[in-house]
Amino acid sequence: MMIHIGREIEAELRRQGRGATWLAQRLHCDRTNVYNIFKREGIDTILLQRIGIVLGRNFFTLYCQEVTDEAENDSTQV
């Protein structure tokens, strides 16, 4: 299953009870840029790292888990 990183970022932001304006202020960008991030399936790693630091979450683990899940699925299908 492909990760839609924008949705993951938006979900984490909502879990923390924060909004796009709050994130935009911390990233030093416009609020509309944050809404554009929410729409992205992929994202630059440096930006993802910055967002992760601001939100206190390592989003890279989502990709590690995806690779692990795919490897497990491949080994059970043999």
Cβ atoms 42, 5 nearer than 8 A: yes
Q: How high is the pLDDT of residue 68?
A: 65
Per-residue pLDDT of the chain (78 residues; tens, 9 = 90+): 689 999 999 999 999 999 999 999 999 999 999 999 999 999 999 999 999 999 999 999 998 886 666 666 666 665
Residue 40 vs residues 21, 43, 44, 54, 74: alpha-carbon distances, Å = 18, 7, 10, 18, 28
What span, in angstroms and rounded, lies between the C-alpha atoms of 62 and 60? 5
CATH of range 5-76; options 1.10.3720.10, 2.60.120.380, 1.10.260.40, 1.10.1740.10: 1.10.260.40
